[in-house]
Amino acid sequence: MSEHVLAKKLYFSVFGALIVFTALTTGIAFIDLGPFNTVVALVIAVCKATLVVLFFMHLKYQTGMTRVVIVAALLWLAVLIGITMSDVFTRHWTEKGSTWERGSVISPYRHAGSTALQLQDHA
Amino acid sequence: MPTDRRRPTLADAPFGAVPVAHQFDDFEQQTTADTFGMWLFLATEVLFFGGLFCGYSLYRNLYFDAFTAGSHLLKVKYGAFYTVLLICSSLTMALGVRSAQLRRRTALTVYLILTWIMGFAFVFIKLRYEWYGDYLEGLAPGVHWAPSSESMEMIRHFHATVPHVGLFFIFYFCMTGLHALHMIVGVGLLTTLLIFTRQGRVTGGNYNWVEIVGLYWHFVDIVWIFLFPLLYLIGGRYV
Amino acid sequence: MSTVAVEVTPTMPEVHYLNADYGWRSWLFTTDHKRIAWLYLFAITGFFAVGGLMATLMRLNLIEPQGALMEPASYNKLFTAHGLIMIFFFLAPSIPTVLGNFLIPIMIGARDVAFPKLNLLSWYIFMLAGSVFMLAVIRGGVDTGWTLYTPLSTTYANGHVLSAAVGIFISGFSSILTGLNFMVTIHKMRAPGMTWFRLPLFIWSLYATSVIFILAMPVIAITLALIALERVFHVGIFDPALGGDPILFQHLFWFFGHPEVYILILPSMGVVSELVAAGCRKRIFGYSFVAFSSVAIAAISFMVWGHHMFLTGQSVYAGFVFSALSFAVAIPSAIKVFNWTATMHKASVSYDTPMLYAIGFIGLFTIGGLTGLFLASLGTDVHLHDTYFVVAHFHYVMVGGAIMGYLGGLHLWWPKMTGKLYPEAWARFACLLVFAGFNLTFGPQFILGYLGMPRRYAVYPPEFQVLNVMSSAGASILAVGYFIPLVYFTWSAFKGPIAGPNPWGAKGLEWTIPSPPPTNNFEETPIVTQEAYAYGPEEAHVG
């Protein structure tokens, strides 16, 4: 619960920062940083989200339990995404040519000549 | 209302007898319970969107070329515009909460209306221009999937396959669609708040209602903050 | 019936929550958590009857190796509907919405839950969900199994997948709102002096259950929405033709699905703690261990979902991790069992019906849990996956465990809810029938599974017939055992002897108020100074 009335100046400063970050993320997308494009974009997104949560949503002035709720939700989402991805990206760790791997339709490492479902290539 | 220039506090807007529901002991318990309840609901929303983010993460890593191609078929100007629009609406929403705390009915009404307009504009422009445009270009899987020759050129440029790009567009429509649905609900909540405000039920001490709707609104904004780079800026726009 | 000696004849208050207001409007528009508990009780009993009817038809069909009653297509629809109804419309709501709704505010010393109107809304959403789902069943049902695996459910199934999915989707919201309500209530509305470690263990387990509702339910919601989208638009993210992965569906489904089964068992474990404490008139041994184990189960339950997918194409390495974590999640459950038995050690145990159900739970849940370990270990799961061993395992924990806990709790708190006593002799008889019938039904299924009979099959090789007939015979006994309480509970509500505030001589805030309680529960907010289960040495001697 917010017992604090925040200054208008604070809200406008956060707003300004968010706009700057948006311009930054859009601008950097037009520069070739290779794989770091993604990293930078996500870091900026996290910064923006943090600003919104801390100041617009008043988390800075909330009890600890609220932080636990947010952290728990994000942590469990990380578990879902992390373990699911670890399944798909370790499917090919078995020996080459084994039925297990050939049976796996979705694998980042499909052999040439694999008997897995052939995807039609229109392009 | 303070006439000097120091920052106003809640002491400047003391509360009289505020209605407290029978199950609560006092106003403070009611507001902390209401706020905590909204944060818990937002936690469920994180997991709700999270399922889509999970699928997105998986396929983006499997078919990065296709996701890059699909991303390039979207228009950055729309994405950036929406982001700015939502950030502005978050500002007006936060200022609205502040007005409610200070029992300023007119200011609150103005901020709520501004937020409402921006939310409505977001949904309207998205559906009427961006989505409809994608549909006309044949980029709507399951509804009208017939990429034009320019789109095919873009897909070939990134060495992607058309079905995988179709997968990208399913995620695009699902994620922005779910987000738009939440915006529509948000606009509905704002409408209710506006009605209550004009009835005088909010600035009489129930400022917490605005805070709670504000929490929901900011959350929807945060989802978009992540959707923008994840959908519109994949692989950079330097090519 | 053994009770603490009372000086006065038990009385009922003149005005209580049941007669404070009359008319259908006072029930359908109530915000009193106790009345809402009754609304749910009637609803879930109805769904239990429907699900039970389907189970009856299935077991009748399995008397003959070639199927005595129906074609496989119909059989498939039956087991799908049986699973979905029993899980989403009976078990998941049972203890939280009936016993939880009734007891949580009382046990923490509050007048009501945090959001009473939301509570009523949850019930209406639940009824809407049930109606939509039953409509789907009546119109022809779904034949994919309750797990709705893709691509069968999205592409090839001819049933009413869309409407069934919508029904379950809606029911998820009911659960989320209930869980949210409970969490805020427990956090914010405890009476003065009711610290976390003075809470009854029933509250701890419902708190853990609510955490799972909040975190797991939304994932099934989005997954069902994705199935619905794929049914409507004929393209989706699970479609291999687009490069989609059907296993992604299973990941999303079981990320919800496994915590869901802990939603089903945790509340029952909380009830058993109460049953054992009241039946032994003794403090639960290792209170904090039992409390923390509820939280641990809730947490670890989210990391074991892949043990449902060992054989479906998941990476073997992910399988290792899931298998190890599945063994780990058994530990907190075992801690509870050890603490309950330690509580019973050297206690004066009164073998009333609630205690009988608790003892039944402890034994049957242990068997169910141990057989889960066979399934958690990769090597044996290769042989047991999708056999009747799995069916027997989960029925031991769900029916032998969860339902017995629910029945025990109903018996323990029936006097509080109605102010009347049920007939103890009939109740014990029904409990024994349930226990015997249950074991005869599902015990042979372990053997059937071990011998290789697959699940979800309407037909089977003739050499399995004896065991199947035994199982069906047991089911008929179980059905009688479940029917009898329906009769005597109804009878006792009208004609039963008056119970008084504390017929069991148990400790806990709920036993300090009249039976039935007044609408606002407490005349003035209690101030808590004692530990939970503060039974002194004098209470250990049963009068």
Is B23 in Cβ contact with C116 (below 8 Å)? Answer: yes
Q: How many CA atoms lie within 13 A of C326 on its CB side?
A: 25
Q: Give me the tens of pLDDT residue by residue for chain A, a chain 123 residues long.
A: 346 788 899 999 999 999 999 999 999 999 888 888 889 999 999 999 999 999 999 998 887 899 999 999 999 999 999 999 999 888 877 755 555 545 555 555 554 333 334 443 333
Over residues C518-526, the mean pLDDT reads 92
**Ramachandran region of residue C60, left (φ > 0), alpha (ψ -120 to 50) or beta?**
alpha
Tell whether the torsion through CA atoms of B200, B203, B205 and B207 is positive or negative. positive
Q: Are residues A54 and A93 in the same domain?
A: no
Kindly state whether residue C427 falls inside one of the protein's structural domains: yes
Same domain for A29 and A84, yes or no, is: no
The verdict on residue A120 lying in a domain is: no
A67 and A98 fall within a common domain: yes
Judging contacts by C-beta atoms under 8 Å, the chain B residues touching residue A69 are 36, 39-40, 43
* Nearest in space to C74 (alpha carbons), one of C136, C141, C168: C141
pLDDT value at residue B206: 81
Assigned domain for C15 exists? no
Is residue A32 situated within a structural domain?
A: yes
Q: Does domain B45-232 have CATH number 1.20.120.80?
A: yes
Q: Do A53 and A27 share a structural domain? A: yes
For residue A112, being part of any structural domain is answered with no
**What's this model's pTM, rounded to 2 decimal places?**
0.93
**Are residue A33 and residue A6 in the same domain, yes or no?**
yes
pLDDT digits over C462-499, tens only?
999 999 999 999 999 999 999 999 999 999 999 999 99
Q: Which helix (H) or strand (E) holds B204?
A: none
User: Average pLDDT, stretch C22-49?
Assistant: 96
Q: Quick one: A55 and A34 in the same domain?
A: yes
Q: Please answer yes or no on whether C317 and A90 come within 8 Å at the CB atom.
A: yes
C116 touches chain B (CB under 8 A): yes
pLDDT in tens, C195-249: 999 999 999 999 999 999 999 999 999 999 999 999 999 989 998 888 899 999 9
Note whether residue A13 is domain-resident. Answer: yes
Domains contained in chain A, number: 2
Domain membership of residue A76 (yes or no) is yes
Q: Which residue has the tokens 């300004």?
A: A16
Angle at B194 between CA B193 and CA B199, to 5 degrees: 95
C431 band by pLDDT with thresholds 50, 70 and 90? very high
List the single residue in C with minimal CA-CA distance to B62: C243
Digit-coded pLDDT (tens) for B95-112:
999 999 888 899 999 999
Judgement on whether residues A56 and A76 belong to the same structural domain of the protein: no
Question: Domain containing C382 — which CATH number?
Answer: 1.20.210.10
Q: Does A100 touch chain C (CB under 8 A)?
A: yes
Q: Does residue B24 sit at the C interface (CB-CB below 8 Å)?
A: yes
Set of chain B residues whose Cβ sits within 8 Å of the Cβ of A19: 84, 87
pLDDT tens digits, one per residue of C250-266? 999 999 999 999 999 99
Whether this model's ipTM surpasses 0.90 comes out as yes
CB C501 within 8 A of CB C4: no
Neighbouring chains of B at 3+ CB pairs under 8 Å are A, C
In three-state secondary structure terms, C44 is helix
Contact criterion met (CB < 8 Å) for A45 and B229: yes
Higher-confidence residue of A113 and C520: namely C520
| Residue B195 sits at the chain C interface (C-beta within 8 Å) | no
Residue of B107, B98, B110, B106 lying closest to B12 (CA atoms): B98
Cβ-Cβ contacts under 8 Å between A and C: the total is: 60
How high is the pLDDT of residue C16? 93
Both structure tokens of A63: 């009890």
Q: In a mutagenesis test of the B interface, which of C235, C238, C253 is the best target, namely the one with the most B β-carbons within 10 Å?
A: C235
Name the residue range of residue C94's domain.
24-540
Do A39 and A9 lie in one domain? The reply is: yes
The answer to whether position A122 is within a domain reads: no
Which of C251, C302, C306 is closest, CB to CB, to A76?
C302
End-to-end Cα, chain B, rounded Å = 56
* C neighbours by CB contacts (3+ pairs under 8 Å): A, B
Contact C245 A88 (CB under 8 A): yes
A117 and chain B: CB distance < 8 Å anywhere? no
Residues A5, A38, single domain; the answer is: yes
Backbone angles phi, psi at A107, to 5 degrees: -150, 140
Q: Residues C345-380: pLDDT tens digits?
A: 999 999 999 999 999 999 999 999 999 999 999 999
- Please indicate if any CB of chain B lies within 8 Å of the CB of C243: yes
Q: Which structural domain, as residue segments, surrounds residue A73?
A: 63-105
Boundary residue ending a domain (A62, A84, A115): A62
Which residues of chain B, if any, have pLDDT below 70?
A: 1-18, 239
Closest alpha carbon to C373 in C318, C401, C333: C333
